[in-house]
Structure 1
Amino acid sequence: MAHVHHHHELQRDDLATAAQATLEKSGEQWTTMRASVYASLAGFAKPASAYDIADAVSKTEGRRVAANSVYRILDLFVGANLAHRVESANAYIVNAHPDCLHDCIFLVCDGCGQTTHLDDDRVTGDVRAAARAAGFAPVRPVIEVRGQCADCRRTLSDTVPAAA
């Protein structure tokens, strides 16, 4: 049986407050730009690229924000556990429980792009153990499973004609 974490997912203001507290606890400042990037990232329903976030922040701020600046902030957020990078999509999602450190598993839908985050310490622990057994020092295992979400599978089955 897998050891799966279940978390109370923080929402909106509570999430931003927790993110700010986590970042400040790590010795970093919660600047206006960092708050804007975080709010933009949290506003996306699917993983967002640095360019998507830069565009959203630019519209909100009324001035052009460079993707390079957003990348630096996103790297800080990933390091502080405020966001996760979905490697296969070169995109980011907000971490809805920034006070919990663990490896993550992402289920990425090839149909709609929706990404679901799972915590399973047994699976990620096995990956770390296998890496160590091979003489490798794992730093940040990234596990992504590509496929189709239930909604896309349902939509696909609704559009496929039944066999005669």
Structure 2
Amino acid sequence: MATHSHQLHQGDSLRDAAARRMAERGEQWTDMRAAVFDALAGFDKPASAYDIAEAVSKSRGKRVAANSVYRILDLFVGSNLARRVESANAYVANQHPGCLHDCIFLICDTCGQATHIDNDKLSGGVREAAEGAGFAEVRPVIEVRGRCGDCS
């Protein structure tokens, strides 16, 4: 498997890296964005906007609408702070927001856990095929469904 190096963040380090990434993109790191990011990073598997809205509502003591969370999640995906697991309509925090690369998710049909892996050979083949078909700025997202090692 082809790999590249990147620094993985967690906890306060992840939050700081996310705030830096937003600043690099000229975006504000507001209290609401921080709350949404903290909630997203707190889940151990992909979370829906509704899951995140509920968690933020509990932590802030007032209702937060899912449509507000969706807008923030769209910004996070565009800023490389989060990844969208398309088949689950859910999101995961990107533990290396300073590293832009393709996504390959291994998704467990039993427990819902999503594991992110890098394989430049596989995603590179998809990228080459898409570029050959005339697509520009290709960024593959590949999802493989099955059972994780714990559920097998």
State TM-score, norm by structure 1: 0.89
What is the aligned partner in structure 1 of residue 88 from structure 2?
89
1:102 aligns with 2:101: yes
Per-residue deviation, residues 64-122 of structure 1 (Å, max 9, x unmatched): 00000000000000000000000000000000000000111000000100000011122
The secondary structure found in structure 1 opposite 2:99 is coil
Partner of 1:22: 21
CA contact (8 A) 1:131 1:138 kept: no
In the superposition, the TM-score normalised over structure 2's length comes to 0.96
Matched position secondary structure for 1:41: helix
Mapped partners of 1:151, 1:91: distance in 2: 21
**Residue by residue, what CA displacement relative to the aligned partner does 1:42-80 show, whole Å, maximum 9, x if unpaired?**
000000000000000000000000000000000000000
Point out 4+ residue stretches in structure 1 off by more than 4 angstroms.
none
CA RMSD of aligned residues (A): 1.1
Q: Which structure's CA Rg is the greater one?
A: 1
Instruction: Map residues 1-164 of structure 1 onto 2, 5 A cutoff.
Output: 2-137=1-136, 139-153=138-152
Contact 2:130 2:138 in 1 (8 A): no
Residue 131 of structure 1: how far off its partner (Å): 1.2
Matches of 2:45 and 2:6, distance apart in 1: 19
**Following the alignment from structure 1 to structure 2, what is the Cα–Cα distance between the partners of residues 14 and 136?**
36
Unaligned runs of 5+ in 1: 154-164
Report the Cα distance in structure 2 between the residues aligned to 1:104 and 1:65, rounded to whole angstroms: 29
